């Protein structure tokens, strides 16, 4: 592919990130090469090193960006002063909506966690724990005020997150249910199980 005229600096880095996201999603981290990435962007392989040190940095950048965006947006989506039940409903709607619209990022963040080197892995696991902690705290507050029947908030949170994130593997925008309808269905399934 010919290099895009005028591509440099931030514009090239954004092209690298987009191409890496697509390639890793389609082929897997281990299967892609920097040469393939350079070809997809339309630059010489050696030019990649003007923007990234190595393939590991690219993967970490993609997953770290996904996790920091997820944390920032959940903070905006879940009202801190609301009752636990309202917080739980907001969390479910946010999680389903976010994950449906960012399927590539979610898939890579989950399936390629194993490909991160130890220091990078630790950073991402820490960010994941922060996100999980949002839901765990909601469930603990609901247990404390009696609005939610949750004996084990941490285990319940992991079960809920698995169910909600699983939507990425089967959701189709052209399916018979909209994203909003699916969020409502998931909310109802969860609330029927734990609302006191």
Residues 165-180 have a mean pLDDT of: 84
Give the pTM.
0.86
3-class secondary structure per residue, 84-134: HHHHHHHHHHHHHHHHHHCHHHHHHHHHCHHHCCHHHHHHHHHHHHHHHHH
Residues 20-25 have a mean pLDDT of: 95
- Judge whether residue 174 has pLDDT over 80: yes
Whether the CB-CB separation of 116 and 61 falls below 8 Å is answered with no
Which CATH number is correct for 9-52, 3.40.50.2300, 1.10.10.60, 3.10.20.30, 1.10.3720.10? 1.10.10.60
- The domain made up of 56-194 is a member of CATH 1.10.357.10: yes
pLDDT at 182: 87
pLDDT at 16: 93
């Amino acid at each position: 592919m010919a290099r895009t005229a005028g591509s440099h600096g931030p514009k090239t880095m954004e092209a690298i990130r987009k191409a890496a996201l697509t390639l890793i999603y389609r082929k897997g981290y281990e299967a892609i090469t920097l040469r393939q990435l350079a070809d997809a962007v339309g630059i010489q392989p050696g030019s990649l090193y003007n923007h990234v040190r190595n393939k590991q940095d690219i993967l970490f950048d993609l997953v770290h960006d996904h996790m920091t965006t997820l944390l920032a947006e959940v903070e905006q989506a879940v009202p801190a002063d609301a009752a636990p039940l309202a917080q739980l409903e907001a969390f479910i709607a946010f999680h389903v909506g976010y994950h449906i619209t960012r399927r590539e990022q979610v898939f890579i963040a989950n399936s390629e966690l194993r490909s991160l080197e130890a220091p990078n892995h630790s950073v991402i696991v820490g960010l994941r724990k922060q996100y999980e902690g949002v839901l765990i705290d909601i469930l603990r507050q609901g247990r404390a005020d009696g609005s939610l029947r949750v004996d084990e908030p941490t285990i319940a949170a992991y079960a809920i997150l698995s169910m909600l994130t699983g939507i990425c593997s089967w959701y189709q925008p052209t399916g018979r249910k909209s994203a909003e309808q699916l969020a409502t269905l998931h909310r109802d399934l969860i609330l029927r199980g734990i609302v006191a």
